[in-house]
Structure formats: C-alpha cells, structure tokens
A and B are shown apart, each in its own frame.
Chain A
Amino acid sequence: MNRQLYNKLIFELSHKGRKGYELPKSGVESADLNDIPSSLLRKEPLHLPEVDEPTVVRHYTNMSTNNFGVDTGFYPLGSCTMKYNPKINDEIATAHAPADLHPSVPASMAQGALEAYWTLQKQLCEIAGMAEFTLNPFAGAHGELTGLMVIRAAHDAAGDTERDIVIVPDSAHGTNPASAAVAGLKVVEVKSMPDGTVDVEALSELVDKHGPKIAAMMMTNPNTLGIFESRIPEIAEMVHGAGGLMYYDGANLNPLVGVARPGDMGFDVMHINLHKTFSTPHGGGGPGSGPVGVRAGLEKFLPSPRVVRRDNGTYNIESPETALGSISATLGNYAVQLRALSYILSLGREGVKEVGPMATLPANYIKESLRDVYELPVDRVCKHEFVFDGLKDKSTGCTTLNVAKRLLDFGFHAPTIYFPLLFHESLMIEPTETESLETIDEFVKVMREIAREAAEEPDLLKNAPLVTPVRHPDDTKAALDPKITYFEL
C-alpha cells in the first residue's frame, strides 16, 4: 500500500500523437469503411486517451499501489472468504489453457476443455454431496438466480404452478431476496432466534400458512452469524413436507469443506462461489463463478448448454428440452473454472479435509481472544466466521465503523460491517484457513489496541482512518451531484 495517493486519470495523461499498439500486418490492404453508408457510421469522434505504453504501464502500476488485496495483507471480510489465491492457478489459467479456443468450436475440437469442465463439476458433486453441477453461472448472485429458476422449472414440470413464495431467514444476505424477486418469486421472511438460528417454530407457522404456495426455502449453513443450523434436518423435512425445495446459498460453504455436505443435509439445489471457497481471485469485484448443483432427479432442469460424458469417454455439449433455458451464451467463466480445478487437484482427497477445520479454528480463536473487549451476542462455537456487536463498552460512543476504519491504519482490511442486520453494530470476522497464527495474533493485538483507544482516546478513534492516503471520502456529495465519467468533471 502506498502512503501517497496516486489519483491521475488516464485521460489526463493523453498527448496527441502517442500510441501504445502496433497491429499485425495481415497482408490484405486495409481499406477504409467507404462502402458502409455514412448514415450507419459514427459521427462523434472518440475521446479515448492517446498514451504510450510506458506511460500506461506506470499509470496502472501506480494506481495498483493504492489498492489492498489478499496478497497485501489480512482481509478478514466476513462471508467473503478472502483466502489466499494460489499462483499456480493463475499460471494454469493463462499458460496451460486454451486461450485462443473459441466457445463455438464443435465439441470434438474441445475435448480437453470439456473434460476439465466435467471433471470440476464431478469434484464439486463429491465435495457438496450433489448429483450434478452446471458451471455456467457467472457469479454467486447469478447462481442463486439460476438455482431458483431450476426450482421453478421443477415445480412447473410437476404441474405445480402456484408455488411463488420463497422463505428467507431475516439474517440472509441481501442477494437472496433480490434473486428471488428477479426470478419472479415473492419473499417471506422467517425470523431468527436470539442465537441467530432459524426460529423453527415460526417457520412451522409459515409452512402451515403458505404450504401449497411455497416454492423453496433459501438458507446458508452455517448462517450469517457463523452458527451451524443444527436443526437443519427438521427444517428440510418441514419444507419438503409442504412440497417446497431447499436451496443452499454456498456463501458459507468453506467451514464444511471436507467435513459435511449440503446434499446430506436435505438441500436440493445449491450454488458455490468458486471465488470464495475454491480460492479463485475476487478481481476487485469479479470475474467470479457460481456453479449450481442439484440432487438426483433435478439434473434435467439445469440450464443449457450442458456438458455430458458419453459412454465411450468422449464429451458432448447438449441442450436438453427439459432444461430451464439458457442463462449465458457460453459455458461460463472458463478460466475461473480452471483455477478452481487446479486448486482442488492441489488439495486432493487429503487436503480437502483440512480446509473446513483449519478455517473454523482461527475464527474461534479470534472470538475467544477478543470477547472480553468486544460484545459477543451469540456465545457458541462458531464456524468460519462470527459476529461481534461492536465494542463491549458502549459508553465511549465509538462505533463499529470507527473500529473498521482504524484497522485500515494498522494495515488490515476491515471486517464486514453492519451486516447481518440482526445487530446494530455488527462486525463480522472471517479469517480463512490460509492466515498464519502470527498474522492472527497481530490482528488480535491490534483489535485490543483499538478497544483501548476507544476507552482512552475515543476522539482519535472517531477520526479514523488517520494515516491512509485517502480519508473520509464525501459519499453524500458523490450521491447528490453524481459525477460518474471523466467528461463530467
């Protein structure tokens, strides 16, 4: 991380007559576009910058030093599973991958690529306890939407067309209700118990009330407090009894990898975030990948195109009549899938069992190390993450936001804040399995130091961050007078 802000825009480095490219010579004389009617051509000239290669590289390199990634430091962002992104995965996805292979090539010309796809989906089936996966969805939210479409397609195929309600816990990620709405479903919230788990009695009432209208229940397990929903078999039985299907949001799958499988818990449909659980880089907000898995009997509804393995060991691409339709032009974010496959191959059957416990242990360790100075609303063994309800001593007036911003000063990324909505001062911490004990101990030390500052120097804390190159950006100004392109500056 830079201590100086580099904030020039590439447009401001433009100098007429400079360029950073040289096209290959094809041997065909390049003519102008004279044979295209001028009414079909662009009139307004482009205002792209004119910049040379050294300037471009230096500009973006300087810009990158304003950024904080997993390679920069500890990123305890709850529910985001910011684990280390192994370098071999990146190498595989670039140097050992079919970079020039067009997605429309006939299956016979892409047997290696299809085998990689098929192998990964089979490995995800094994790890998650599902019958089949599609890797087509581009992201977790896209996976959720696809999964809900699978559920609607299954109900429709059974002639059960009146089911339009999705039950979602009040602790759920905001994406769950949003995905339900995009899929044309109505959301009914089920409330949580004080310990953050689903209130099974309240759920029972909802199931009685809405029974034949229930399409699905969406859950994460462990939930957004990092607490395992121990009554999941009962919940699944209840929803299944009403004819609904169980959807598993894979955002919190990491602590269960190698330990327990959603498919064994009664979930019918699920998605996985390869960019969380399977170590692919988050890319500053994508590209991710959100494979959707289904239990036996629901495979036929998965979206087209589908990759199938024939009896003779070759692979084909199919678009079954029963599929819910297409949710993408291609088989998804292929280079991301390759990274996840590389990761699982590296773990192997032994390594996969270490992921869940080693992600869970440091979370409990941090929780136990800080509970005397931060408010622990749910005092139970957690899984990969847990939630503090702000500082224990509320009299200082220091908030979770202050704590989060102060962490930036100490070289840590902030935890997830003000989520879940169950508490006013939520501070959600997820260390993952790839952080050393020294890093974790340093984090604990800093968190304690911040608690001390709250007590002794609250005004300092309320002013945080103090030493980052950017301090207190004016969000209100940004929203009231939006300037969203260079041309508006």
Chain B
Amino acid sequence: MHRYIPHTPEDIAAMLERCGMQTTAELYSDVPESLLHKGEYDLPGGMSETEIRRFFDALNERNAKLTCFAGGGFYHHYSPAAVNAVVSRSEFLTAYTPYQPEISQGTLQYIFEYQSMMSDLTGLPVSNASMYDGTTATAEAMIMSTAASRKRSRVAVSRSVREATLRVLHTYARYHGVDLVEVAETEDGVTDRFALSLLISSGELAGVIVPSVNRHGIIEDFTGLADECHAKKTLLIVNADASSLAVLRTPGEWGADIACGDAQSLGLPLNYGGPYLGYICASKALMRKMPGRIVGATTDDSGQRVFVLTLQAREQHIRRDKATSNICSNQGLMALYVTVYMSLMGANGLREVACAGHSGAAYLSSALERTGKMKRRYPASPVLNEFEMITEEPAAELIARCASEGILAGIATGEHSILIAVTEMQTKADMDRYAEVVAQYSSNN
C-alpha cells in the first residue's frame, strides 16, 4: 500500500469480512463492467519525497528569477516571517469550513478579526469572510447591485478598471444576464465623468463600478459621484487594492455602497498567480445581500464570548437556486494570512509601505525619464506606487531585454507603453540598474 494509506492486508481482510465480501472488487459490483477502467494509467511511477523535490527543483530552474517591477493588482511586498509560521499551523491549515463552532473557534475568531480589519480599511461596516480574487469579487458586487435593485439589470463600469477585471465582469455579465455598459476614459486616463453622469441620470443603472487606483496607476477623484448615484437609487461600487486604502480615501469616505478588490497587496506571496485573496465590504443596508460566509459574535451557555457563522439564510446551501451567490468558503487561510500581516504591521506599518512605494515610484519614474527613452504617459496625474510610461523601445522587447538582466520591467499595456510598480522590496540600486538597461536602447540596433 502507498505510504498515505495505512491498511495492511490483515486490516483489509478484517474489513472485507465485516462487509461479507471476499475481494475489494466486490465494492464495485454495482458499477457496470464496461465502465471499469482496465489496464494501466498513463502516469509516472510513484515518487519518493526526494524525487518529488528534485522534480520541482528542476522545474523551478526554468523560471526566471527577476527583480519585480510588475504590479497590476499583484505586488511583491515584504511579509514578516511570523505570518508564514502562524499560517502553517496545521490546526488552521487542515481544518474545514467552521461548521462546528464548538471546535472551530480558531477559524471563526480570525475571520471575525479579518472582517473587522477589512471594515476598518474600506470604511464600510460589513465585510464577508473572503472572496477568491479581486476580479470575481467585483463581479459578485455587480450581481449584488442588480439583486438589490430588483428591477434593474444595467450596470456601468469605467473603462479605466484593470483589463482582467473588465474581462471577468463581461463574462459574469453575459451569463448572468447583466447589461454591462462601459464608460469611456478621458484623454487624461480617468473615468469620463460627463459620460458617466449621463448614464446615471437615465435612472436605469443598478450600479456603477469605478476604480480607486485605475489601470494606469492613477488615483481617481469621485467627488460628488455618490450623491449622483444615490439620487437615482444606483449603488456606487469602488474597486480598490486593499493595501492602498491605508492611505487613500476609502470607499466609505467616497460614500460608496460596496468596496471590492484584491487584497494580495497585504503581503501575500506572488506565487505565480495564487492563492490570492479578494474582498468585499458593504453598507449595513446591503448586509443581507452579501455573498459568502459572515462570522458574528455571540455568547454560549457559560456566557463567554464566542463566534459563529451567521446570517446563513443568504447562502447557497440553504437558498439553493434562490441564493445571492453560489460561493461557499473562499480563501479562508489567505484571510488569516492578511490578518496576521495587518496585526504585525499595524497602521504605521501599512503607511510606511505606502510611502516607500510612493517614494520609490517617484525616484524610478524620474530616473527612467532621464534616460530619454521613456516618458510618463500621464505626468500630471496623482499616483501611489504605480505609473505608466510611454516607451521608445517596443514594450515587449524592453521587457525581454530587461529580463535577460534579471529585471521584470513591468506589464506591457500597449506596443509602446508599460505599467511599472515599486514597493519597499526594490532597492535604489535595483532602480538605477533598471534605468541603466533602459538607457542602453538605441533605435538603430
């Protein structure tokens, strides 16, 4: 038997005897013979742990090791060693969804802490227990707005949200039957407020989705937008990266009804795409329209404070096809990860992270501009830690050339444009080296 299966031949014989069977084949006597798989599976032979390590090390050698200046929602941040130590505890790692509160207080309690911290970050009072990622969180927010309005199926989204978010919104909208309309960008790379106001004034929108920091890295200004939306009974949905909300005006402060987005920026490893974390927060009025799990505080027999899954009448296992969403549990352990991260960092730590990224972005964008090979695409617009550059060199070639020098230059946004992010993880020397490589480009070679 394989090492994960403890049954000896004697164990198997004892169990078969209790079942009145001679062989394990009888366990499948109800499976039509034609459906039984015959012969060998086309899989390699079983590996020992050492061979498995070698296998993955060999694969990993074929991934580039790069200093990361790419962002687009996912950032290379520092995370204290204690975070991983806590998250690795198998009492957290190997538990199921906390259906039995008597023996799941650990999970329930950190979800409660997580909800509190996300509420604090977004300035909205209600958070659920987590979402898959920012794109699906935004899609759920879109569906929430149509469900809340009951009669309206149209939602407007600014063209300035990230491409991936836009793609996922369109997918969910198409299949769920949401009439998703895009609002153009101005020449300055921000939501066209005039076009958006016109749409809102129609009184037909269930919701409006706008990005706090948009796909160009620009911090958008939503002055007056919430009032416009609410006058027409339209919900305002602000998509924002969680970490940025430590310093930027919060969705709550903008008067938004729903905040949603990615929370990978709260120290989660990049891990080539996941697991990450999405979040969704909302006003009290929308509490019963929230997707996913919510944990609440209560008391037990002895009067001590305890935590339970609550407001479950919203959920799929009760409501089935009338549920507000099909999501069950999501990224529970990643919620723990960011909760421990935020505990260690505190408000000051998150602010330092934001300032380091902002200062680094200012330094790098100047250094890159000084090469004469790049210029800011929107030089007058406020940014946090990410900015878009127009490149003389084709962006794909620039990225390839930088990669051979150990630098991930950013994300190509067009043939001659690139989105660049800076965090506390890149040094001044890294940035100088990046500018040096950029400067080496000559249009003649």
In the complex the two chains form, what is the Cα distance from A470 to B306 in whole Å? Answer: 7
In the complex the two chains form, what is the Cα distance from A230 to B35 in whole Å? Answer: 10
Task: Write out the residue numbers on chain B whose beta carbons fall within 8 Å of the beta carbon of A352.
Answer: 41, 43
In the complex the two chains form, what is the Cα distance from A45 to B253 in whole Å? Answer: 12
In the complex the two chains form, what is the Cα distance from A88 to B84 in whole Å? Answer: 16
Which of A88, A127, A330, A335 has the largest count of B CB atoms less than 10 A from its CB? Answer: A330
Task: Write out the residue numbers on chain A whose beta carbons fall within 8 Å of the beta carbon of B120.
Answer: 46-48, 485, 487
Q: A142-B136, A357-B27, A477-B299 are in contact. Are A285 and B63 (CB under 8 A)?
A: no
- Shortest B222–chain A CB gap in Å is 9
A349 touches B43 (CB 8 A): yes
In the complex the two chains form, what is the Cα distance from A380 to B429 in whole Å? Answer: 70
Contact-size category for B = 35 or more
- Shortest B408–chain A CB gap in Å is 6
- 24 A-B pairs (CB sep. < 8 Å): A24-B427, A27-B429, A29-B359, A30-B359, A44-B123, A69-B94, A88-B53, A91-B53, A97-B271, A109-B64, A183-B176, A260-B36, A284-B93, A328-B133, A336-B274, A354-B2, A354-B5, A364-B15, A365-B19, A381-B29, A405-B102, A465-B102, A478-B296, A486-B112
B103 touches A284 (CB 8 A): no
Answer yes or no: B394 CB below 8 A from chain A CBs: no
Q: A333-B274, A347-B46, A471-B102 are in contact. Are A42 and B299 (CB under 8 A)?
A: no
Q: A20-B344, A180-B321, A287-B334 are in contact. Are A46 and B121 (CB under 8 A)?
A: yes
A281 touches B329 (CB 8 A): no
A100 touches B270 (CB 8 A): yes
Contacts A9-B113, A347-B4 known; 11 new A-B pairs at CB < 8 A = A7-B109, A56-B82, A68-B103, A72-B90, A138-B133, A178-B326, A233-B32, A283-B333, A284-B96, A284-B97, A483-B297
B74 touches A102 (CB 8 A): yes
In the complex the two chains form, what is the Cα distance from A487 to B252 in whole Å? Answer: 15
B267-285 Cβ-contact flags toward A at 8 Å (1 or 0) = 0011111111000000000
Task: Write out the residue numbers on chain A whose beta carbons fall within 8 Å of the beta carbon of B392.
Answer: none
Contacting residues of chain B (394-408) with chain A, CB-CB under 8 angstroms: 396, 399-400, 403, 408
B329 touches A31 (CB 8 A): no
- Shortest A482–chain B CB gap in Å is 5
In the complex the two chains form, what is the Cα distance from A328 to B135 in whole Å? Answer: 6
B408 touches A281 (CB 8 A): no
Task: Write out the residue numbers on chain A whose beta carbons fall within 8 Å of the beta carbon of B35.
Answer: 232-233, 260, 264-265
Q: A92-B52, A285-B293, A346-B46 are in contact. Are A327 and B333 (CB under 8 A)?
A: no
Which of B94, B331, B353 has the largest count of A CB atoms less than 10 A from its CB? Answer: B94
In the complex the two chains form, what is the Cα distance from A260 to B125 in whole Å? Answer: 49
A85 touches B94 (CB 8 A): yes
Answer yes or no: B187 CB below 8 A from chain A CBs: no
Segment of B198-206, B240-248, B369-377, B436-444 engaged in the interface with chain A: B240-248
A285 touches B330 (CB 8 A): yes
Least CB separation from A382: chain B residue: B27
- Shortest A76–chain B CB gap in Å is 11
Contacting residues of chain B (1-56) with chain A, CB-CB under 8 angstroms: 1-7, 11-12, 14-16, 18-21, 24, 26-32, 34-37, 40-47, 49, 51-53, 55-56
Which of A105, A230, A335 has the largest count of B CB atoms less than 10 A from its CB? Answer: A105
- Shortest A345–chain B CB gap in Å is 5
In the complex the two chains form, what is the Cα distance from A292 to B70 in whole Å? Answer: 29
Contacting residues of chain A (107-152) with chain B, CB-CB under 8 angstroms: 108-113, 115-116, 123, 126-127, 129, 138-142, 144-145, 148-149, 152
Q: A40-B221, A327-B168, A368-B18 are in contact. Are A28 and B274 (CB under 8 A)?
A: no
Least CB separation from A337: chain B residue: B274
Task: Write out the residue numbers on chain A whose beta carbons fall within 8 Å of the beta carbon of B44.
Answer: 345, 348-349
Answer yes or no: A296 CB below 8 A from chain B CBs: no
Q: A21-B345, A60-B89 are in contact. Are A475 and B336 (CB under 8 A)?
A: no
Task: Write out the residue numbers on chain A whose beta carbons fall within 8 Å of the beta carbon of B301.
Answer: 471-472
Least CB separation from A485: chain B residue: B116
B132 touches A139 (CB 8 A): yes
Residue from the list B112, B168, B249 in contact with A43, Cβ < 8 A: B249
Residues of chain A at interface, number, CB under 8 A: 204
B304 touches A5 (CB 8 A): yes
In the complex the two chains form, what is the Cα distance from A351 to B46 in whole Å? Answer: 7
- Shortest A302–chain B CB gap in Å is 12
Residue from the list A77, A100, A138, A351 in contact with B76, Cβ < 8 A: A100
A325-350 Cβ-contact flags toward B at 8 Å (1 or 0) = 11111111111101000101111111
Segment of A237-245, A434-442, A447-455 engaged in the interface with chain B: A434-442
In the complex the two chains form, what is the Cα distance from A142 to B172 in whole Å? Answer: 12
Which of A127, A149, A484, A486 has the largest count of B CB atoms less than 10 A from its CB? Answer: A484
Least CB separation from B123: chain A residue: A44
A90 touches B27 (CB 8 A): no
- Shortest B264–chain A CB gap in Å is 10
In the complex the two chains form, what is the Cα distance from A331 to B164 in whole Å? Answer: 12
In the complex the two chains form, what is the Cα distance from A380 to B116 in whole Å? Answer: 49
Contacting residues of chain A (284-302) with chain B, CB-CB under 8 angstroms: 284-288
- Shortest A94–chain B CB gap in Å is 8
B354 touches A33 (CB 8 A): yes
B113 touches A99 (CB 8 A): no
Q: A48-B347, A485-B115 are in contact. Are A101 and B322 (CB under 8 A)?
A: no
Which of B2, B315, B400, B425 has the largest count of A CB atoms less than 10 A from its CB? Answer: B2
In the complex the two chains form, what is the Cα distance from A56 to B306 in whole Å? Answer: 20
B110 touches A60 (CB 8 A): yes
